[in-house]
Amino acid sequence: MRIKFAKTATTLALCGGLVAGCSTDGGDVAAPETSTSSTLATTTSEMASAPVASSTVPAPATCGSDLLASLSLRQKLAQLLNVGVTGTADARAIVDSEQIGGIFVGSWTDQSMLTNHEVPQVTSASNLPLMVTIDEEGGRVSRVAGILGPDPSARETAETMTVEQTYQMALERGRGLKDLGITVNYAPDVDVSSQPADSVIGDRSYSDDPEVVVAYAGAYAQGMRDAGIFPVIKHFPGHGSASGDSHTGAVTTPPIENLIASDLIPFRELANTGVGVMMGHLEVPGLTEPGVPASISPSAVAFLRAGTGYGAAPFTGPVFTDDLSGMQAITDRYDIADAVQAALVAGVDQALWLTTKDVPRVLDHLEEAVASGALPQSRVDQAVVTVAQTKGAITC
């Protein structure tokens, strides 16, 4: 078969996959039957059939305006949080109490939530489709190897498999994830690296050749999409040649010109193929502000969004942070509430961290930030619409 990397829009009509709004099966909440786009079409038809004075013609509805009007500020902010859970009870409680936008299944999560097919108990507590996210790259970064069996690392994949075999592997893995209730996979890793296999990126990278990364990561992402799983490529703008491990401290990459010549090529080629992008905790000379990692840097997010700085098309899909609570590149300098605020202000759409206990405090903090103007309401609304599009709650 020939693998085609379709240049799809970010909003993916994947019924039964991420777009839980397509069906009420499995406890997911159905999307409203009348979308903004269909409402606008009806309005246009009525206007065409009846003479109306120009002064009374209503302005076209803004994408997501009905959804935004239905949510309180706290509910909007909650949609921008994706938080690690310990198991079904923990997940159900935080979704029920705060209506967060997503949960994260980590290495510490009780796997019975997946093996006993308990995810629908969690999603049924959400008024909007819920992102159920995971890190499932294969190799040493696998959360379901004990359930679905092991997959090879990215580097081993590129060395021993064809691109078409990689697609088939991802398709099979994606179907397994979907059956467990997962909707979003923070994979593939598109970092370009020749680091030793056991280093922070190492064998998580397909190759030190960006074109090989594009081919294999593109096939993996396509397999996930075709299985109904939304893939997220990482770690923008490239962790493969960085100075260290952001889990243990601050990390600096080579200057942005160097990244443009190599590390950014996979992002340029793949960012607009129906994927999300995860920002790395990376300080980039010539791009990020001094001491500010890309994950909370306005200039880094703007660079991704515009695309022009590295030859890419504008990116309108969802932007995620890497973990904000368990990586010292962030925690050495920021409290979780401040880190989440900084990420959202910078232009990220959904902030990721590892425990539910701080969710109420973070939401209190964000409400105060909006009230003071530190976090613009327009930025919140924009992110809510992007997240809702990705989850299939609205179409625009």
Burial of residue 58 (number of CB atoms within 10 Å: 0-12, 13-18, 19+): exposed
In a domain? residue 4: no
Q: Report, as an integer, the average pLDDT of 158-172.
A: 98
Higher pLDDT, 300 or 47: 300
Q: Report, as an integer, the average pLDDT of 191-209.
A: 96
Asked about 96 being catalytic, the answer comes back as no
CATH number where 76 lies: 3.20.20.300
In a domain? residue 396: no
Q: Where are the beta strands (DSSP E) in 345-393?
A: 351-353
Residue 62 pLDDT grade (very low, low, confident, very high; cuts 50, 70, 90): confident
In a domain? residue 154: yes
In a domain? residue 3: no
Q: Which residues pair with 328 in a beta bridge?
A: none
Q: What angle do CA 276, 278, 283 make, to 5 degrees?
A: 145
Q: Count CB-CB contacts under 10 A for residue 61.
A: 14
C-alpha R_g of the chain: 21
**Is pLDDT at 44 greater than 60 in this prediction?**
no
Count of domains in the chain?
Answer: 1
Mean of the per-residue pLDDT values for the chain?
87
In a domain? residue 229: yes
Q: What was the pLDDT predicted at 40? A: 29
Of 135, 322, 323, 358, catalytic: 322
Asked about 247 being catalytic, the answer comes back as yes
Which residue, among 210, 214, 217, 218, has the nearest Cα to 193 in the 3D structure? 210
In a domain? residue 94: yes
Q: Report, as an integer, the average pLDDT of 354-375.
A: 98
Q: What was the pLDDT predicted at 284? A: 97
Q: Report, as an integer, the average pLDDT of 209-213.
A: 98
In a domain? residue 118: yes
In a domain? residue 239: yes
Q: Report, as an integer, the average pLDDT of 23-32.
A: 30
Domain extent for 51:
20-391
Of 179, 209, 245, 247, catalytic: 247
Residue 61 pLDDT grade (very low, low, confident, very high; cuts 50, 70, 90): low
The tokens for 139 are 């190799």
The tokens for 72 are 């309180």
